[in-house]
Amino acid sequence: MWKKSSGFFSVFKDHKKSNTSQKPEDLTVASSSHMSNIIQNHDFSNGMHSWYTNCCDATVATSEVTSSRYAIVANRKERWQGLEQDVTSQITSGVSYTLHARVGVSGSHHADVIATLRLEYNGSDTKYMCITRNTVTKDNWENLEGTFVLSDKPSRIVFYLEGPDPGVNLLVESVSVSCASFSGTLGKCNSVEDQNIISNPNFEDGVNRWTGRGCKIGTHESIGNGKVVPKFGNFFASATQRAHNWNGIQQDITENVDRKLAYDVTATVRIFGNNNVQNADIRATLWVQTPDSREQYIGIAKSNVTDKDWVELQGKFLLNGYASKVVIYLEGPPSGVDILCNGLVVKRVEKIPPSPPPFIENADYGVNIIANSDLHGGSKGWFPLGNCTLSVAKGSPYVIPPAAKDTLGPRQPLSGQFIIVTNRSQTWMGPAQTITDKIKLYLTYQVSAWVRLAHGATGPHNVGVALGVDSQWMNGGQVEINDDRWHEISGSFRIEKQPEKVTVYFQGPAPGVGFMVAGFQIFSVDRRARFEQLKQQTDKIRKRDITLKITDPDSSSMHGAMVKVKQINNSFPIGSCISRSNIDNEDFVDFFLKHFNWAVFGNELKWYWTESQRGNFNYKDADELLRFCEDNNIATRGHCIFWEVEDTVQNWVKSLSRNDLAMAVQNRLEGLLNRYKGKFKHYDVNNEMLHGSFYQDRLGKDIRANMFKTANRLDPSSVLFVNDYHVEDGCDTKSSPEKYMDQILNLQEQGAPVGGIGIQGHISCPVGPIVCSALDKLGITGLPIWFTELDVSSENEHVRADDLEVILREAFAHPGVEGIMLWGFWELFMSRENSHLVNAEGEVNEAGKRFIELKKEWLSHAHGHIDEQSEFAFRGFEGMYEVEIVTSCKKFVKRFKVEKEDSQVVVWIEL
């Protein structure tokens, strides 16, 4: 707990008391002047969000007179106990701030209310600054006003209200702390977010404040006989004599950067000095040293640059925890290549208002936008892309493909006519249409067609639907064909920015191989109609018949007593990816613990993390994450023991001989699974085996099954999973459900104890029936299916929310799915951009709100009366419940749990 020390030091300025009451309408005017209020949730309109109690309790009430909300701080046993908010990231030294708060008391006729700052310094005593105080009388709102300036920047600054005697409730209606004026020459306080925190950013003062990271640095007006000159300004800097790729130019920004704030980084860079290297990657990296001497390296941005032109390197970062030192630097090119920098800007991320929900007029759900799809008009409306030949024939299927039928329902039979494509000299050649005027922004379109190789062609060959959107290419679905049958292509796409031209075409087989296309359809998807079906399916699949049998020793019957059942949590596994640095952020932890019951570590358990250098082990991060999960009753998945994709394998592992690699694999298995035996409920044994073959290529086809068998022997308590991506969306021929099932069956035939199927779920523009079709196919195996790394992506938060709802509802309504893991939820800590649910600085966006709404929907509540048999029956989800039973003279509250395995649940409640 926080408690004051005796080292209370003097305030910067004395303040007179103000006993002047203020009318509610006056407060509105006063508040409007504080346009730069740094206090979050200043009027408690969002409950207690961003506020914390100091060893006491707090609730939010609504005034019957003004309808405004206010906080009631109760159960205070010391004067210093009250309400607080961390304002570290909002305060700048040398700046004058003005406080205006409306406070009251109850439980005493009058009491002092004090506004205080708690200033925490690394390695020294905590200090306290009294901003102001006022004597407040009962039943009156009073003003608490004052100003303060900090001469230095502590590592942590907490604003709080305190003062009344123990037992006296503190009331707080609103708090405003705003910037009054700026000391020095930095500018106006309302432009703090626009200020570059880099000193001497354009090298006008030489290399002052800059240092070389293992290399030499200097400044220039030009080099290379005038071939390289600044893009802007008069100077640029160089990092030369680089012996390692991590050498570069750096600046210490410890005093200027705050935790839990997002920063934009822009560097203007190029390379020079080695004629054999014309292009190379330059990276912007943050080196952080924590108070406990832990080192962190945070990648900010990476771009491939050349020795010809200046390039802008752009990225963002956020510090979760406290730091004793923060250094930003540029690195990346091979040794002997100079890094040139013309300027570096690091400033607060601009807060952009969220995008509005898209307005779509006449969505025309289910209407095919392909002209002459049935080919009754021959090839009218179609044109060949390239110099291939199109002709029309008869003999294709009359039924629409299954995934389209699942979406559209019963439809008229197809015409049986098809296009045959011949004389193809390039893989991209095929039949095409221009659909620019038919596409509506933000609608999700489903793609459906029958395809077949021309007679006499032998596979395997990929056939796919592609969309040319101006200069970009989009994947509309793919299928691999290895026989002479008709195959279904099923995919989806969405366009979110107005294009000048959209062309859809078929492509894929090798040059010279002809193919056929029939029943081609592109139609928009009515997601809301699908959701109604899924709600009914969810109730059928996930809910149980629950009967409460109530017994009361004092009464032979409870007939007629009122019953109110409330579900506290749904125990269906819904988890998230977390990283070690995330748990240093209190806001991240708060959201995570409220909304998730499982966790998976992003990198901290992977081999390249735990043993990046041979024999040099790092389990500290994983240990601390595991301890955090255990302390908070969070179940964990082990991701991953191995990763089959070669690009993810450490260089020292790649350099091993066959025998040494086999020994290293065995050591990895024994080291990891013996260390954490019984700790991880799942393991992804060898990640992405459909997309990589590093270990199989070097150690033989038995190695995969042997990994499973060895892992099971070392830790038989853990369920062993396969794990791969694009299984559910129809856009990757390497990972179709059929190929995934073949892989699983092959492993099982070799004795591998495969216990679960992991679908990563990094999906774009999801269509429910396509996802469901893949789940149905995988469900044939009888193995539990988990979405292990789910994320969706859209710049528009409302569209992102819709995408997320599609996947969550499909998964929760499917009997084969037994768990869902999001691949993160916090901005800047996601593998894909525009996929977060919570913005970098803690604001829940539309996707996050939709997620929370679904979690609430999946809680069961019921009320009624106990029947003549002293029973109360209802249907509910698995999880923990609280039941309240009210008789004429008593009220009883009991808790009970519904387990997953129960089909019909009988719960005995003894009163």
Kind of pairing between the strands at 719-724 and 682-687:
parallel
Give residue for tokens 């309400």. Answer: 83
Q: How many CA atoms lie within 13 A of 286 on its CB side?
A: 24
The torsion region of residue 222 among left (phi > 0), alpha (psi -120 to 50) and beta comes to beta
Over the range 44-75, which residues count as b (16 or more CB within 10 Å of their CB) and which as e? Answer: beeeeebbebbebebebeeeeeeebbbbbbbe
Please provide residue 582's backbone torsions phi and psi, each rounded to the nearest 5 degrees: -60, -35
In the structure encoding, which two tokens stand for residue 626, read together?
A: 């595991």
| Catalytic site positions | 688, 789
Does a cis peptide bond (omega within 30 degrees of 0) precede residue 460? yes
In the structure encoding, which two tokens stand for residue 744, read together?
A: 């699983």
d(CA 881, CA 717): 28
CB distance 176 to 39 below 8 Å: yes
Over the range 508-532, which residues count as b (16 or more CB within 10 Å of their CB) and which as e? Answer: bbeeebbbbbbbbbbbbbbbeebbe
Give residue for tokens 């406290």. Answer: 322
CB distance 388 to 508 below 8 Å: no
Query: Among 706, 581, 735, which residue's Cα sits nearest to residue 642?
Result: 706
The burial of 403, by beta-carbon neighbours within 10 Å (0-12 exposed, 13-18 middle, 19 or more buried), is given as buried
CB distance 58 to 41 below 8 Å: no
Cα dihedral 211, 213, 214, 215 sign? negative
Cα distance from N-terminal residue to C-terminal residue, the chain = 38
Distance, C-alpha 533 to centroid of its chain: 28
For residue 303, CA distances in Å to 269, 275, 343, 652 come to 10, 20, 16, 26
In the structure encoding, which two tokens stand for residue 256, read together?
A: 């200027």
d(CA 866, CA 174): 46
Question: How many C-beta atoms lie closer than 10 Å to residue 178's C-beta?
Answer: 18
d(CA 262, CA 525): 36
DSSP letter for each residue of 285-301: EEEEE-TT--EEEEEEE
Three-state DSSP string of 515-576:
EEEEEEEEEECCHHHHHHHHHHHHHHHHCEEEEEEEEECCECCCCCCEEEEEEEEECCCEEE
CB distance 463 to 516 below 8 Å: no
d(CA 131, CA 108): 23
> What single-letter DSSP state applies at residue 24?
H
d(CA 530, CA 764): 18
